[in-house]
Structure 1
Amino acid sequence: MSPIRTVPRLLALLLCLLPLVACGRPAGRGGEEAGVREAVAAWSRTPPARLAGIPLEGWTYEVGSVRLDGVRAHVRAALRYRLAGYDGAPARSARAVELTREGAAWKVTSDGPAPGAPPQLWDQGEVAAVRGAASLVLGVGQSPATLAEVGREADRAVPAVSAAWPDAWARRVVVLVPGSLDAMAALLGKPAATYRGLGAVTTGSIGGGPAPADRIVINPEGYAQLGAAGKDVVLTHEATHVATRGATTAGTPQWLSEGFADWVAYRDGPLTPAEAAPALARAVREGGPPGELPADAAFAFGGDQEAAARAYEGAWLACRLIADRWGAAALVRLYERAGRESLPAALETVLGTDRQGLTRAWQEALRHELG
């Protein structure tokens, strides 16, 4: 063999061995990552002691990525958990977990929301829990009396919803009461201006399958400005969204979804249409009824509040009309079918009319009740 060929082969062999001691990926790095994953798994088997008052189950952190940086490790993980007796499907949270190596072992030093992900309520402070007959109220920075009051209002809302919505649902709700409007907005991942003036909103994905982990999230500033009747309306409206979630799809018109929730909230109350729909009443007196049922975009948060009020009021009165003329059972069937098929098909099957016919009847009702 030629000496000229031997030298390169020897160099190549040496270069293959060098990474073990000098360059390239350090030896044992894969073992370190495995150690980090094991440390997170061991740490996450039990919820933190500060959450002892919350009925948690299925608490798990699923590690996605691990980045090693000397004696520190940065982990991205997915937290999954259920509130026992309340959640039909796991709640999910993207988390950032930090660890520090102490000798040969890794120790978790911090856990918080991943960059860009909303926090959990307990990230904002110590959580107090109040259990009602049909509710679980979790709050941060709120007095026990406030949380108990919210629980009583939620307990009244649940049977009112069940009386109007005969389909199966959990018949219990989870209500979050953060410490401020800003804290509420952080939980929902939106600017605070989006929710200013609102009493509460409901989270949760739409569509079939297992009932999602819905949460009614209170705006403590807007909610505090409401009287007893207003608080009942708000919680009954939001609890209706929880109940109807399984029948609601992307195809369900917003006027039907929001109008149905308001119909449930107002149907046993004393308010007349003119009293409960002041913004729309002004518009009808000044220029007549709207030309069309409210479009989906009219219900967006953070826009023109007067226009949004007219949309909600008009949606409520459309659903009220359907219940009065065709019956409450027909309104429920329309809601169910409108999530599975086109609105024209649902209107024809359930009410025997089309969108134009419903719109004309709605406009006549507005002139009669608000004009």
Structure 2
Amino acid sequence: MAGRRRGWGAWRVRVVVLWLLVGSLGSLVACGGRSGTDTASADVRRLLDRRAAAVLDGDAPAYARTGAPAEFSRLRALPLAAWSYRLTALHRTEGGEATADVELSYRVEGIDRAPVKVGRTLSLTERGDGQWYVDADRPARKTGQQLWDQGTVEAVRGTHSLVLGVGQSPETLRRYAGLADRAVPAVTEAWGGAWTRRVVVLIPKSLEGMAGLLGSPASSYRGIAAVTTGETGGSVKAPADRIIVNPDAYGVLGDFGKQVVLTHETTHVATRTATTAATPLWLSEGYADWVGYRSTGRTAVQAAPELARVVASGETPDALPRDADFGFGGDGAKLAQAYEGGWLACRMIADRWGEVRLGEFYRAAGAHGKRAGAVEGAMEQVLGTTPAEFTALWREYLRDQLG
């Protein structure tokens, strides 16, 4: 075996030498030059490096020398620890123009544990001085916008939060920070565990702005006050989640409703690493609502009016809500019933088995890794029951609490 290794090594060296000779010959034939595309790619990479350095240095004139200067002012309030570009493809056209496919990598200072990476498409022009300039910088195809794509970003730091908004007054952003700062300790008290205990809240101008950040039609989120984006089951090295608010729907809520919604979304941030494909939505959404309502003193009828109406009519649901019942684009009443049903299932666990067991059940379900058998295993392991027995208890609990 040793002899074979020596033979392979010698053969590999000969291949390398041959490659070097061929490469040298090629260089001589090409008179030492590189292809135009290679040269342009190198020049564009240098352009992107200068542009990234200008962002991090807060150097507006240096940024302007790379092109598209108006974008710089939109970014100035964003507290950045890192910002870089990686050129993935360059498409040249006639007339000294090109389109660059770029991966933008950035990290918000004190928030992101790992870089956020997003695709961008840059329109470029090679001008008379032989330098490339950025004419436009936009999200890549089928990629959501970043907040600065929608206007100048304003930032407010809270004790446990960073609120970033476009088209919002500083007073409005400070109110959001106050809500977030109350939500974080409430979630920590209920969930405990190792989580960042900080949240990032994005406030676009409107529902359309929210949809733009999510890369989806506005109709998908009409009436939805807020959502949380993040990597389900993400490691502790994943970028921080973002809570994205729909100011149209959130704005019509009273102070109580606004706090419950933001506490609900903050719960998703805290539980993200324990939430996997094995976690049913009735549990993840129900648990977030349970934390949101936990210390409010609201009765079941007050917090679950749609389900109370159904139960009062004698039509108690036969089964726990399915994942499909949580779709944003369907019947609003049925969506409310799904959330309320999940909340009451978690509330029942806390009442019957205790709050600690509820958290253990959540973690056990997510730790299963795949959906099949996850709930069954967690119920047996943590609650000492079966899905059939649990469903019967839940239906009885609905009638008792809502009847």
Return the alpha-carbon distance in structure 2 between the equivalents of residues 38 and 283 of structure 1: 64
Name the stretch that deviates more: 308-317 or 33-42: 33-42
Return the alpha-carbon distance in structure 2 between the equivalents of residues 133 and 272 of structure 1: 31
Spell out, residue by residue over 1:256-308, the C-alpha distance to the aligned partner (whole angstroms, 9 max, x if none). Answer: 10000000000100210001100000011113321001111111112111001
Pairing 1:74–2:106 present: no
TM alignment of 1:198-277, pairs within 5 A: 198-209=224-235, 210-277=237-304
Return the alpha-carbon distance in structure 2 between the equivalents of residues 190 and 250 of structure 1: 22
TM alignment of 1:5-84, pairs within 5 A: 28-47=36-55, 48-69=72-93, 70-84=95-109
Name the stretch that deviates more: 253-262 or 210-219: 210-219
Return the alpha-carbon distance in structure 1 between the equivalents of residues 53 and 318 of structure 2: 58
Return the alpha-carbon distance in structure 2 between the equivalents of residues 294 and 27 of structure 1: 60
- The residue that corresponds to 2:185 in the other structure is 159
User: Which amino acid in 1 is paired with 2:43?
Assistant: G
Return the alpha-carbon distance in structure 2 between the equivalents of residues 27 and 96 of structure 1: 23
Asked if the contact 1:204–1:214 (Cα under 8 Å) also holds between the matched residues in 2, the reply is yes
Return the alpha-carbon distance in structure 1 between the equivalents of residues 287 and 179 of structure 2: 20
- The residue that corresponds to 1:188 in the other structure is 214
Deviation at 1:49, TM superposition (A): 4.8
Asked if the contact 1:334–1:347 (Cα under 8 Å) also holds between the matched residues in 2, the reply is yes
- The residue that corresponds to 1:145 in the other structure is 171
Deviation at 1:110, TM superposition (A): 1.9
Deviation at 1:347, TM superposition (A): 0.6
Asked if the contact 1:33–1:68 (Cα under 8 Å) also holds between the matched residues in 2, the reply is no
Deviation at 1:66, TM superposition (A): 0.4
In structure 2, runs of 5+ residues without a counterpart are 1-28, 56-71, 369-373
- The residue that corresponds to 1:354 in the other structure is 386
Deviation at 1:229, TM superposition (A): 0.3
Classify the secondary structure of the residue corresponding to 1:46. helix
Pairing 1:109–2:135 present: yes
Aligned residue pairs total 350
User: Which amino acid in 1 is paired with 2:274?
Assistant: A
- The residue that corresponds to 1:98 in the other structure is 123
Please, what is the CA RMSD of the aligned residues?
Answer: 1.8
- The residue that corresponds to 1:6 in the other structure is none
Deviation at 1:44, TM superposition (A): 2.1
4+ residue runs of structure 1 moved beyond 3 angstroms? 26-29
- The residue that corresponds to 2:336 in the other structure is 309
Spell out, residue by residue over 1:107-166, the C-alpha distance to the aligned partner (whole angstroms, 9 max, x if none). Answer: 222211112211100000011101111010000011111111111011110000000011
Spell out, residue by residue over 1:83-112, the C-alpha distance to the aligned partner (whole angstroms, 9 max, x if none). Answer: 111112221221011221122221222211
Classify the secondary structure of the residue corresponding to 2:82. strand
- The residue that corresponds to 2:15 in the other structure is none
Deviation at 1:27, TM superposition (A): 5.3
Return the alpha-carbon distance in structure 1 between the equivalents of residues 86 and 200 of structure 2: 25
Deviation at 1:212, TM superposition (A): 3.2
Deviation at 1:43, TM superposition (A): 1.7
In structure 1, runs of 5+ residues without a counterpart are 1-18, 21-25
TM-score, normalised by the number of residues in structure 1: 0.91
Return the alpha-carbon distance in structure 2 between the equivalents of residues 313 and 28 of structure 1: 62
Asked if the contact 1:252–1:338 (Cα under 8 Å) also holds between the matched residues in 2, the reply is yes
- The residue that corresponds to 1:368 in the other structure is 400
- The residue that corresponds to 1:15 in the other structure is none
- The residue that corresponds to 2:197 in the other structure is 171
Asked if the contact 1:207–1:249 (Cα under 8 Å) also holds between the matched residues in 2, the reply is yes
Name the stretch that deviates more: 110-119 or 327-336: 110-119
Asked if the contact 2:74–2:151 (Cα under 8 Å) also holds between the matched residues in 1, the reply is no
- The residue that corresponds to 1:3 in the other structure is none
User: Which amino acid in 1 is paired with 2:38?
Assistant: G
Return the alpha-carbon distance in structure 2 between the equivalents of residues 134 and 27 of structure 1: 52
Name the stretch that deviates more: 58-67 or 42-51: 42-51
User: Which amino acid in 1 is paired with 2:306?
Assistant: A
Return the alpha-carbon distance in structure 1 between the equivalents of residues 249 and 348 of structure 2: 29
